[in-house]
Structure 1
C-alpha cells in the first residue's frame, strides 16, 4: 500500500474512533438541550386522521367523492375537503453532515460536526416525544423509539460509507419532512440540485447551514496556508487580510444562491454559528417545522436566520 493511501486509512480510522468516543457526551448534551427547549412547546398540528377539525382544502382529482364537504363547497365554485387534525405519525428525515469539513473549529469553539449532531439528536428527541417517526437517510430506518438519540448515534458510528458533503439522494414520501444540517460549502449549484431532487416528491424541508465564526469573519492575516479538508489541496497566501473583502463577497453570493434555491421550492433556509447556543437553533427550527413552510425570518421581515444574525 502506498504511503499516502496508508496515511488516509489511518486518518479515517482515527476519525472514526474519535467519533465513537464522543457519542455518549453528545447524546447527553442533546438530551439536556431537548429538555430545556421542550418546556412550553406544544405538539405539532398536521393534517391527517385525527378527530378534531383542522382546515378546509381544495378537493384533488382522484380522491373519493365521499371526502367532499358539500355544505362548504356549496358556497362557491370549488369542491372542498374537511381535513382533521393530524394524529398519525409521519416521518421526519434528519441528515447531519459528517464530512471532513465539519471537523473544522476555530479557537474557543466546538467542531461544526458536534453542533450538527447535537441539534440532530435533540430535534429527534422532541419529535419522537411529539409522536413523530425519525429516520436518517441511508443510515437508519424511521423509528419512534424512545431512545432515538442513542439509536441515531449508533447508526452514525456504524455507517458503512465514507461521509459525503451532500445528503444522499433518496425518494421521501410526499408527507415526509426533511431537515438538512451541514456547512454546505460544496458548489452552490450542486447543493441546489440535491435540494431539488429531494423536493421532487413533494416533501417539505429545511436547510440549516452551520458555520464557525472564523468562516464568517475571515480573521486571518499575514502568511497563511489554507488546506481543503476533503480534497487535501493546499494554498499559501502572503497577505491573507487582502483576501477578506473578496471572500466576504463570495460568501454572500454562495449563501444567497442556496437560500433562493431552497425558498423557490417552499423550503426554509437558516444560518447558525457555533458561537451561539444550540438551543436557539433547536427552538427556532422546531417552531418553524410546526408552522410549516417559509423562511426563518425575524419579526418585521428581513433576511432568514436562526441564530447568529441575518443570513
Structure 2
C-alpha cells in the first residue's frame, strides 16, 4: 500500500492571501496587547528602574546625588524606557515555508506572516518604529500592518515569490532589535554567517523557527514518497518508519547548532509549531525583546 504524506502546498501567492492575514494579524495583536506590561528598559520615562554607575562624559545633571552620597562613586538614576527604538523584522517566504499538513490550521508561511505583521503592530503601539529588513524603511504609523503587507505584495508583484531562505545580508543599525521568522532548515553555517552580518553593528534580536507538527513528530509508516515543496527533489521510502529515529536525531542536532549560534551572538531562539497559539508566541516575543537581556536559549512557544 502506498501512503502519501498529508500536505497542503498553497498554489496562490502570498499576496493573494494577505487580506485575510492582515485581519488575523490585527486581531492577534489586539489580544496580545492586553497582556503586555512595562517594558523595563532604561530611558526618559517616569517610573524608576535602577541605579547605575555614572559614566565619564555624561551630563552631571544626570547624577543622583542622594544615592551617590552613600558611597565613593557617582550613580545615575535610570527610568523605565520610553524612547523609540527601531525594530527590524523579516520572515521567510521561500518554497519550504509553503508546507502545511492536515495537523495544523495554517501553512508555515502564513503563520510567519501573521507573527511578523502582528509583532510590528505591537512594536508601533509601544512607541517604536518597525520595518521589514531589506524591504521597507522603519515606520511608526498606526496602519503599519497594512503598509508592510502592501510592501510585500508589491515585492511579489515585481519580483515574484521569494526563493531566499535567509534574510538579506544587510547589517541592522546599532542598538536596533531584530526579529527573524522562518524554518531555518538550511545549513547552519550559512545561517550563522548571515546572522553575523546582520548583527555586525551591534543589533540584537531573536530568531523564531516555525515548524509544522508533522515535521516534529514524523508519523509516517509504510511506502511514502517525500517531495520538496519546491518540487526539486523526491525521496521514495519503502519503509518510512525506519527513517524516523535518524530524522529526529538530525533535526534535534540541527536545532542545537542553531541554539549555539544564537548564544554566541547574544541572540535568543524560539520554537513555534503551527498548531500552537499565535498569541502565546507573540506575547513571549514582546516580553523577550523588551527585556535588557537577549539570548537566553531556546524556548517553545
Same fold (TM over 0.5): yes
Moved more, 264-273 or 152-161: 152-161
Whole-Å separation in 2 of the counterparts to 1:295 and 1:274: 23
**Aligned position for 1:194:** 194
1:152 aligns to 2:148 (yes or no): yes
Give the equivalent residue in structure 2 for 1:10. none
Superposition pairs of residues 106-185 of structure 1, within 5 angstroms: 106-109=101-104, 110-159=106-155, 160-161=158-159, 162-185=162-185
Equivalent-residue separation in structure 2 for 1:195 and 1:79 (angstroms) = 38
Deviations 1:198-247 (A, max 9, x none): 22222110111000011111112222222233471222222111010000
Q: What secondary structure sits across from 2:166 in the alignment?
A: coil
Shift of the 78–230 alpha-carbon distance from structure 1 to 2, 3 Å rule, reads farther
* Among 54, 60, 64, the residue aligned to 1:66: 60
- Say if 1:103 and 1:69 are closer, same or farther in 2 by CA, change over 3 A: same
Structure 2-normalised TM-score? 0.85
**Preserved contact between residue 96 and residue 116 of structure 1 (Cα < 8 Å):** yes
Number of paired residues? 286
Gaps of 5+ in 2: 1-9
Q: Normalising by structure 1, what TM-score? A: 0.83
CA distance in 2, matches of 1:205, 1:231: 33
Structure 1 unaligned blocks of 5 or more: 1-13, 297-302
CA distance in 2 between partners of 1:269 and 1:67 (Å): 39
Aligned to 2:97: 102
Report the 3-state secondary structure (helix = DSSP H, G, I; strand = E; otherwise coil) of the residue aligned with 1:200.
coil
Kindly indicate whether structure 1 or structure 2 has the higher relative contact order, using CA contacts under 8 Å at least 6 residues apart. Answer: 2
Contact 2:35 2:283 in 1 (8 A): no
Are residue 223 (structure 1) and residue 218 (structure 2) matched?
no
Q: CA RMSD in A?
A: 2.5
Question: 1:36 offset after TM fit, Å?
Answer: 1.4
